[in-house]
Structure formats: structure tokens, C-alpha cells
Amino acid sequence: MIPVPSLAEALRHTGQELNQILDRLLPPVEGPEARVHAAMRYAALDGGKRLRPFLVLQTAHLFGVAQQAAERTAAALEMVHCYSLVHDDLPAMDDDDLRRGRPTCHKQFDDATAILAGDGLLTLAFEVLAGPETHSDPQVRCALIAELAQAAGARGMVGGQMIDLEAETQPDLDVAAITRLQQMKTGRLIEFACQAGAILGKAPHQQRHALRAYAHDIGLAFQIADDLLDVVGDPEAVGKGLQKDAQAGKATFVSLLGVDRARAQAEMLVDQAIRHLDSFDEKADLLRQTARFIIERNS
């Protein structure tokens, strides 16, 4: 029997794998428009925990999905995630200079190039999903595209970022409003990550439902953990400026609940997420570990 790899090992492996796939899918730095290709690569390669693609690969694993299908879907999702970071970091939005310990895309290039790089990544994500290499059944490819677009669009991630920007002038948001905001801004993409394997594997409704519930809980736990890191994290490990929310007077889970209750809430959500996986066998062990990791990480 092959031992289950540790989560850290598996995440590291996914990171390497994903860089290779992204490198193949991203346009080479060539032509008179090379600058935007370079910025897309800067934004998408070598960065982050790759949590969303990891979730795609792991849920695909539950249903025996072909490696290439899972990898391309994971890469497309990561492109959407990276585009959102590039646009969110712009001076007109959150105005961040540092991301993953490096200058943000617009600091490394310029605002115009960063806007275009984000646009290019978002567009490429859909091109990748539409390609026949992603799945032999075009119905499945269309389902992936529709779900990703809904998760990322104006009633999902983009809408969440809109609320978040407006929240800076509305420090009186309550826990329900913050939960909704985060569900849109980060939750929907995590939900897509956990659904993607089920869509690719044409999983039965009940299993899709269990994965959606799992995603919902880890998504919220993830955000609470982020808010905790912003207050009690180590800036060097996190790789970006901290205490931004507190300085901006923004309502967060931590400002509303306090550190202890926020932490307890995140732990409760993680326990609940793991219970949603009860119908899966040991193939879901890394997903169970991931739920724990989400609140135990230091970056």
C-alpha cells in the first residue's frame, strides 16, 4: 500500500506541477506585445499556496478524473485567482505594493500593464477550459465555464470585491454582511475548486452537494484565518503588509468577534467541513488535512 503523502509534500508537488502547466499554457514572452505576456507570467508563476488548484486536483482524484483534465482545470482556476489579485492590488483598488514577498504586478511593471495582464489571464482561463484537451465531452467543458464565470463574475468574486471596497466607508457591517461579502469574494472560487472535480468526474448529485458544503465551510474558515493573520501574523511569513484592515478601520471577523471567538468559529467550521466528507473513503484524507491546514497555516 502506498502511504498517503503528507499535506506539505502534496502541496509542494502541486506547486511544481502547476508551474509547469501554467508555463505551457501562458503565452511565451514574444512579439511586440511581449510586455503583457511577461506580466501575466510574473503574476501567475511561482507564487502562492496554490490552494485552489490543489482542491481541484484532490476532488478530481476522488472521482478518478484523468490527470490532464484536472490539471488544465486547476490551471484555469489559478489564472482567475491570479488575475483577481493583480486587479485588487492596483492603486485604484486596495493599493498594495507587496504580494507573496515580491512587488505587486503594477509595481514591477505599471498600472496599465497590470490591468491588461489581469484581463489576459481571465480571458485565457476560459480559452483553456473550452479546449478539447480539458475534457472529451464539450458539455462538461461548458459546465465548467458557466460555473467558473458565475463564481468569478459580478454576482460572485467581482461583486464581493465591489462590496469590500465600499465596506471601507461602512465600518458598521455586521457578521452576516461580512460573511456574505467573503462568501462572494473568496468563497465562490473555493466552491468552484471543490466542484470542479465533481463536474469533470460527472459525480452524483449527493457527492457534489457534500463537496459544496465542505467548500463553504473551509472558505469561511479560510477568511477568518486570513483576518486572524492580519492581526496576529508574522509579516515576514505572510509576505505582505499586515494590520491593513485595522488601520483602515474595516470591519472584519476579528474586529467583530475578537481573536478568541473568531478562532473558535474557524475551528468549528473546520470540524464541520471534515464531517461533510464522511461519505468519502481515504481518498479524501488530504482534503481532510487541508481543512485543518487552513486555520493552522502561518501565511
Number of residues that bind a copy of itself (CB under 8 A): 58
Q: Is 174 in the site for a copy of itself (CB under 8 A)?
A: no
For the chain, how many residues are written?
299
Bridge-based pairing of strands 98-99 and 102-103 is antiparallel
Q: Does 169 bind a copy of itself (CB under 8 A)?
A: no
CA distance 165 to 77: 23
Q: Which range binds a copy of itself by CB under 8 A, 7-15, 156-164, 192-200, 253-261?
A: 156-164
Distance, CA of 256 to CA of 272 (rounded, Å): 22
**What mask of x and - would describe binding to a copy of itself in positions 32 to 51, judged by CB under 8 A?**
xx-xxx--x-----------
The three-state secondary structure class of 294 is helix
**Per-residue string for binding with a copy of itself, 81-100, x by CB under 8 A?**
--x---x--x-xx-------
Question: Does the protein bind a copy of itself through residue 171 (CB under 8 A)?
Answer: no
Q: Is 221 in the site for a copy of itself (CB under 8 A)?
A: no
Phi first, then psi, for residue 29 (nearest 5°) are: -75, 85
Q: Write out the three cell numbers for 196.
A: 470542479
- Cα 163 to Cα 84, 199, 227, distances in angstroms: 15, 29, 17
List interacting residues with a copy of itself (CB under 8 A).
Answer: 27, 31-33, 35-37, 40, 83, 87, 90, 92-93, 110-113, 115-120, 122-124, 126-127, 129-132, 137-139, 141-143, 145-146, 149-150, 152-155, 158-163, 165-166, 177, 180-181, 184
